[in-house]
Amino acid sequence: MSGPAFALAFLAYLGAAAGAVGFLATRRAPLGRAATRLTVAGVLLHALTFALQTVEMGRPPLGNLGEALSFSAWALALLSLMTEARFGNRLVGAFLLPLVALFTGAAALLPREVARAAAENAWIWIHVTLVMLGSAAFAFIFGVGLMYLLQERQLKAKAVGPLAFRLPPLEVLDALAYEALWLGFPLLTLGIILGSLQGKQLWGAYWVWGTKETWSLLTWLIYGLLLLARLNAGMRGRKAAILSILGFGAVLLTFLGVSLMAPPRLN
């Protein structure tokens, strides 16, 4: 039952991403409105998918990489809608919705094996939820960082392009990234702590220096340094945007590349 709902959600996200990018390129208002409506439809269908999967499997749909990535895509789509409603600017979706569609499509192709320990331990669902919500916030910062660099480039150009007058001001974009950092970093921190506690219970050690754990720690350090730099050194603007984009590269490497290469724990 959940399969058709998920497929429709993916198609809605794909259409929304195409509409948002088309709106960015052509400035045709109907494309922007269509992108918003399709995003709303995708979020609702995606939520229905989670509900159906929970009933079908008897557990939250967060037991493997594909399910976790699907949840992160849904959270990112929701963040896109919330930002659009807050600022009344549909261009945000052009930088976020392609990621939503990409994550949702990739989620359907990833392995579906579920470790027995994960299936039997409810705390692991909380751990995964926190980490993937944090990852959605980092994806949001990545999109906002791209917007910032594009806006800054246009404002510095001799002939200011039309997008410079339609994208949010640099100050707003910088503030959005800062708010999302304060959301994502604590969520990732709590997720890592909870995962460490569960590691002690399941495998007898709080921390195992495996590939995935090492890159997770690297991701945490990158965003922790970014937060410290913004708090203590006043880093903002272009440097903060570039570091956030690099940090998101570490997130992708952690939850996609490394997770696919690392052997699963079956106990």
> What's the per-residue H, E or C state across the chain?
CHHHHHHHHHHHHHHHHHHHHHHHHHCCHHHHHHHHHHHHHHHHHHHHHHHHHHHHHCCCCCCCHHHHHHHHHHHHHHHHHHHHHHHCCCCHHHHHHHHHHHHHHHHHHCCCCCCHHHHHCHHHHHHHHHHHHHHHHHHHHHHHHHHHHHHHHHHHCCCCCHHHHCCCCHHHHHHHHHHHHHHHHHHHHHHHHHHHHHHHHHHCCCCCCCHHHHHHHHHHHHHHHHHHHHHHCCCCHHHHHHHHHHHHHHHHHHHHHHHHHCCCCCC
pLDDT band at 209 (very low <50, low <70, confident <90, very high): low
Q: Comparing 252 with 42, which gets the higher pLDDT?
A: 42
Is the pLDDT score of 255 beyond 80? no
Is the pLDDT score of 161 beyond 80? no
pLDDT band at 37 (very low <50, low <70, confident <90, very high): very high
Is the pLDDT score of 266 beyond 60? no
Six-digit token string for 149: 């660099």
Is the pLDDT score of 123 beyond 80? no
Predicted local confidence at residue 47, as pLDDT: 95
Predicted local confidence at residue 267, as pLDDT: 41
Give the residue-averaged pLDDT of 24-31.
88
Tell me how far apart the alpha carbons of residues 90 and 17 are, in angstroms, rounded to a whole number: 11
Instruction: With beta carbons less than 8 A apart as the criterion, state whether 76 and 140 touch.
Output: yes
Is the pLDDT score of 120 beyond 80? no
Is the pLDDT score of 208 beyond 80? no
pLDDT tens per residue across span 74-119: 999 999 999 999 888 888 899 999 999 999 998 888 776 665 555 5
The alpha carbon torsion through 110, 253, 235, 86 (nearest 10 deg) reads -10
pLDDT band at 162 (very low <50, low <70, confident <90, very high): low
pLDDT tens per residue across span 170-190: 888 888 988 998 999 999 899
Mean pLDDT estimate for the chain:
83
- How far, CA to CA in Å, does 100 sit from each of 9, 46, 164, 174? 11, 11, 24, 22
Sign of the Cα pseudo-torsion (42, 91, 135, 259, in order): positive
For the chain, percent of residues with pLDDT exceeding 70: 84
Tell me how far apart the alpha carbons of residues 131 and 196 are, in angstroms, rounded to a whole number: 12
Give the residue-averaged pLDDT of 192-201.
80
Predicted local confidence at residue 257, as pLDDT: 61
